[in-house]
Structure 1
Amino acid sequence: MDKSSMDSPGSKSAKRPCISPSSPDTAPKTSIGNQIFCNRPLYMKSIKAVGFDMDYTLAQYKVDTFESLVYQQTVQNLVCKYNYPSELLSWVFDSDYMVRGLVIDKKEGNILKMDCYKYVKVAYHGFKELSKEEKLLIYGNTLVSTSYDQPEYALIDTLFSLAEAYLFAQLVEFKDKYPGKFLKPVDYACLYKDVRKAVDLCHRDGTLKQKVAEDPKRYINEDKSIVPMLKGLRESNRATFMVTNSLWDYTCVVMNFICGSSAVNDGTKFDWLQYFDVVITGSAKPNFFKEDNHANLFEVEPESGMLINTNDGSPLLQVGNIIARVSTKDKSSARKVFQGGNVVHLYPLLEIEASSQVLYVGDHIYGDILSSKKTLGWRTMLVIPELDREVQLLRKLKKNCENVRSLRSGCIALEDRLHCLNTNQKSNHDENLKHERDKMRLNYQTSLSELHKQFHPKWGQLMKAGYQNSRFAHQVERYACLYTSQVSNLGLSSQNQYYRPNEDSMQHEYAIMDKVDAN
């Protein structure tokens, strides 16, 4: 896309996680892109209940079509509801441009990629990359923030955020070039606020969900391994549940599709419910995971979608223990679909005693994984669809990665030699060594940059920022017990799998092992 065009700015730790060990030797070897990686030991035999998010977890949306739909509807809202310039209507969305793990600086109009220590490694203002000097001027050599709940930052930590991030970058560039096009003065923070409101409106007014319901195959990937995976969990005598922010009508459409029902839009078909003990819709995560959240739990009548314990939509006083009533019914006739509530309602429904007995699978590092892990102590599995391509490229570029590491080690060795010579006042060799060091450093920086561009031309490797882990990788390592590319990978291993990470190593241990290997 021509970024000069007014009509359409923009264009298309030391710890090493382990791969899930194979099941019996007779089992077929799992492709590396479909394997489960482990940060903390997890013995599946101790798991009594497995829960799932729906959107971007059980239902894997097609970014190019679904996020394009979000983008188009958002632009329509900006122009028609918020009086933005009509030129926006000719803009298009590049689904490949943005990646997860970025941070939006709403005040400056910048989009940032940080390392695990929160130092800015890559930054763009609109679609213009900031130079090293510009980054230092704005962010210096200090941490951008010790926390990201401040209003001046927004996180791109879910694939749902890619369209709004791209549109924000376009608006930043458009504002800088044509400030007079706006009916009132706007700053970058105002642009982001309006984009956020326009996106929320798309979800509230039902336009997005209606489009998906009309043609699910256009927007959602088919995965025929989902049902066998769910059946395997059920047959292993584990409880299964789903907690989703989507409401019942949309949930039913999506689950009918991914479970292979021929009647996707038939509101009388609920065969997919056989794979779950409990389904909680409209959960308002992450607040659902807070035990002091006093949201009412409503029963949903699947046939009509009506909330049962209400009076014309108003909550009825819940006399007695609603959980005791719904959980002591005959299991064959007990209702299993609910709306709202919180995690306190969930435990009796699942008949589990300890939070460590729950494994929850989701795609959102904050809304699903951090909240359930940090607040409740649940075991967690993060779904990262981009991981498949990432690990395939890592395998393909293994020699390139080794070359970059070798160059970095060479730079460090030359620095040490220079320091030694200076200490011994043998300065006659300094200039040659300095020249050699500078040449190797430049070679290293160029090679590292080219390596990153193999993964993404703008943002580089998802899990790295420079030579260190990215902020996103740090969050994955910290909060996800397991992580994998798609939820159905859970069905490729034994239901009693013992996931074990590789041995943790400190930096001094690596140094010793490297010298042993060299000898």
Structure 2
Amino acid sequence: MLLRKLIFEYHAKKNNSNIFNKCLVALTTLPLRQHSSYRLEEAYKKIKAKCESKKLPKDVNPSAVFACNELDLKEVKVYGFDYDYTLACYKPSLDYLLYNLGRETLIEKYKYPKKIANLEYKPGFAVRGLHYDIEKGVLIKLDSFLQIQFGSVYRGLKPLSNENVLKLYKNRIIPIAYVEGDRHSSGSHSKMVQLADLFSVPEMCLICNVTDYFERNHIDYHPEILFRDVKNSVKNSHPVMHKIVAQNVAEYIEAHDLKPFFDRLKNANKKLFLVTNSPYKFVNKGMEHLVGANWKEYFDVLIVQARKPKFFTDDSRPIRVFDEHSGMHIWDRVTKLEKGVIYYEGTVKQLQDLTGWRGHQVLYFGDHPYSDLADVTLEHGWRTGAIINELTHEIATLNNPKFKKDANWLQMLTQLIEDHQDCEDEEEQAVLAKWMQERDKLRNNIKCVFNEQFGSVFRTYHNPTYFSRRLFRFADIYTSSINNLMNYSVNHTFYPRRGVMPHEYTSYFV
């Protein structure tokens, strides 16, 4: 106001040097603006230089075991295992096999167009943990808050734009009843199905390939019927898959010797058991490949075709002896579980009652957070370990120097935006918009290095995925391979790292 008054007086009284000098003094003593585009640009340069000067974080050990909950192995007396993707880890060739068998079944049994025989499997298209919306016919990635990750919603092989996603769902957060069903109504079913195991990856690709074929050729279809047909086709292909894999185990199962691990456990007087949904002949061929002809000697209890998760939830389904010579189960009542005998179906209640193995003395390993781990930890107090094969790829990506630089810069750039976002000047807003564009590009690049379509199994852009939330809830520890436990003694205690809550962040990271 003072400067404006002086300028007015100067114009009113021309050539008045006294007033002119007062104007100069006023100009030089004005306080700097609180915000300016220049100041923002300088702040950007400063934080960018700081980021570039930082040492990159250490590499993550790809053979490590990670703790979600404290686990003292000294307390564990009994080790239990699933078979598929836990003891036996499959090569990519199995994905191709399951996809091709499922596609053939769609044509032969469900009379789908013969031209879908030309639809080839696309490795790396999908990741596990995605949801399929059986009403809307889209494959979708959700975070732990049930928020949609934009850019990761696909109908067939084509991503939906953010605008189309919002038209479809009216919101970026999906109601829990839509995802999980109404928990207050026993007859309510969710509209989404989560595909949470690795066997479902070729299934997802087949769904998307067929959907894309129908969309391109303007063929009417019902998304739920398509989902059921594909799911049943792949499921019905498993017996054929079992025979093919058993005939050529080395082509389909990764070679890793389990014998040293089992020897260590037996030498420490641990009990071992196997509970798997797979049939005996299939398991036998795989275990002979991984352990040797005497593999059954390591296990105190062997249960095949357990029909998990019913094995963990049913109460009355009887356990039977399986005759490996006839390939049939025997109807005699089982009153005790003997070493060297193969058992069929049954329930976890019978397993516990007949062995006395209960609670925290049991550590069970599986690959599926729900059918393997959820019920035994929630209902029976077992300790649990998850074998997550994708960790190998995820950790290799985390250890890439470029990824580390991009992830560090993303964190610092986000903090810079947060600190300066309340500027209101148009020039300042233009600078902020430029920063936001850089952040969006950076986030997308970081997503795509894991998987071009859906990103990391464990993260959306910044939050844990829905899959991660369940994994961390139901697994005490997780790792990429059962053999990674060889890096730890049988008396090792796994300690979870102290998590940083949002209100603690500044006090931890200065």
**Paired AA for residue 213 in structure 1:** A
- Counterpart-to-counterpart distance in 2, 1:38 and 1:305: 40
The answer on whether the counterparts of 1:152 and 1:189 sit within 8 Å (CA) in structure 2 is: no
Residue deviations 1:257-313 (CA, integer Å, cap 9, x gap): 22144xxxxxxxxx11111111111111011112x52111111234444423x2xxx
1:288 corresponds to 2:311: yes
Which structure 2 residues correspond to residues 364-513 of structure 1 after superposition, within 5 A? 364-396=368-400, 397-415=403-421, 417-418=422-423, 430-513=425-508
Q: When the two structures are superposed, what TM-score results if normalisation uses the length of structure 1?
A: 0.81
- Counterpart-to-counterpart distance in 1, 2:269 and 2:356: 12
The answer on whether the counterparts of 1:106 and 1:153 sit within 8 Å (CA) in structure 2 is: yes
Which residue, 319, 342, 362 being the options, matches 1:297? 319
- Counterpart-to-counterpart distance in 2, 1:412 and 1:297: 60
1:272 corresponds to 2:295: yes
The alignment yields a C-alpha RMSD, in angstroms, of 1.8
The answer on whether the counterparts of 1:383 and 1:485 sit within 8 Å (CA) in structure 2 is: yes
Match of 2:342 in 1: 337
Offset, 1:190: 1.2
Match of 2:49 in 1: none
Offset, 1:217: 0.7
1:211 corresponds to 2:240: no
- Counterpart-to-counterpart distance in 2, 1:87 and 1:143: 36
- Counterpart-to-counterpart distance in 2, 1:372 and 1:234: 23
1:143 corresponds to 2:147: no
The answer on whether the counterparts of 1:463 and 1:470 sit within 8 Å (CA) in structure 2 is: yes
Which residue, 254, 263, 270 being the options, matches 1:221? 254
1:189 corresponds to 2:224: yes
Which residue, 185, 191, 195 being the options, matches 1:156? 195
Residue deviations 1:216-262 (CA, integer Å, cap 9, x gap): 111111102x111111111111111010001222221221122144x
1:86 corresponds to 2:86: no
- Counterpart-to-counterpart distance in 1, 2:337 and 2:79: 20
Match of 1:107 in 2: 135
Range with bigger deviation, 380-389 or 249-258: 249-258
Q: How many residues align?
A: 439
Distance change >3 Å, CA 481–CA 498, structure 1 → 2: same
Distance change >3 Å, CA 237–CA 98, structure 1 → 2: same
Residue deviations 1:424-451 (CA, integer Å, cap 9, x gap): xxx6xx2222122111111111111111
**Paired AA for residue 157 in structure 2:** F
Q: When the two structures are superposed, what TM-score results if normalisation uses the length of structure 2?
A: 0.83
Secondary structure of the 1:372 match is: helix
Offset, 1:336: 3.5
**Paired AA for residue 74 in structure 2:** K
Secondary structure of the 2:323 match is: coil
1:307 corresponds to 2:337: no
**Paired AA for residue 134 in structure 1:** N
Instruction: Give the fraction of aligned pairs with identical amino acids, expressed as a percent.
Output: 28
- Counterpart-to-counterpart distance in 2, 1:388 and 1:326: 37
The answer on whether the counterparts of 2:337 and 2:355 sit within 8 Å (CA) in structure 1 is: no
- Counterpart-to-counterpart distance in 1, 2:117 and 2:304: 34
Residue deviations 1:481-502 (CA, integer Å, cap 9, x gap): 1010011112221011100011
Secondary structure of the 2:85 match is: coil
Which structure 1 residue ranges, 5 or more long, are not aligned?
A: 1-29, 262-270, 311-315, 328-333, 419-426
1:175 corresponds to 2:221: no
Offset, 1:393: 1.3
Secondary structure of the 1:300 match is: strand
- Counterpart-to-counterpart distance in 1, 2:418 and 2:190: 40
- Counterpart-to-counterpart distance in 2, 1:153 and 1:215: 36
Match of 1:126 in 2: 156
The answer on whether the counterparts of 1:242 and 1:279 sit within 8 Å (CA) in structure 2 is: yes
Offset, 1:360: 0.6
- Counterpart-to-counterpart distance in 2, 1:304 and 1:231: 31
